[in-house]
Amino acid sequence: MNIGEAAKASGVTAKMIRHYESAGLLAPAWRGDNGYRRYAEKDIHLLRFIRRSRDLGFSLEEIRGLLDLWENRERSSREVKALAQTHLAELERKLAELQAMKATLKQLVAGCQGDDRPDCPILQELAGEAGGGCGHGCEGE
């Protein structure tokens, strides 16, 4: 099938298929006499694997490792689990950071009057003036 058909069958855009080829996750496609890329069912299966891995937030390097493990029938599931656990720990760290950012922003939004006055605790916090300060352009700063 051509790249458009492969994209539709795998759920991966044609642009990303070309990117995965250039990144070495997918072998360069066979080219027909007309020079167009041609993909086999095994390529579609591989693209679906990559797409599902990306959907779970794995990086290209992590996906490269997963592909190596997937293709190595001699590997132990311990190796796969270890890679997934490392990724899970990173997701949990990022989630904690996002939750902290959300809590801070929520507090700032709640403290802002959102009226016609120029003073704004959100901008004061971003400027490092939490707890008051005279705002931008004050003398003596």
- The per-residue pLDDT for 131 is 57
Q: Which CATH architecture fits 1-57?
A: Orthogonal Bundle (1.10)
Confidence of residue 77 (pLDDT cuts 50, 70, 90): very high
Q: What is the pLDDT of residues 8-34, one digit of tens each?
A: 999 999 999 999 999 999 998 888 888
**pTM of the prediction?**
0.76
- The per-residue pLDDT for 35 is 84
For residues 67 and 132, the model is more confident at 67
User: Domain coordinates of the chain in residue numbers?
Assistant: 1-57
Residue entry with tokens 């599931």: 77
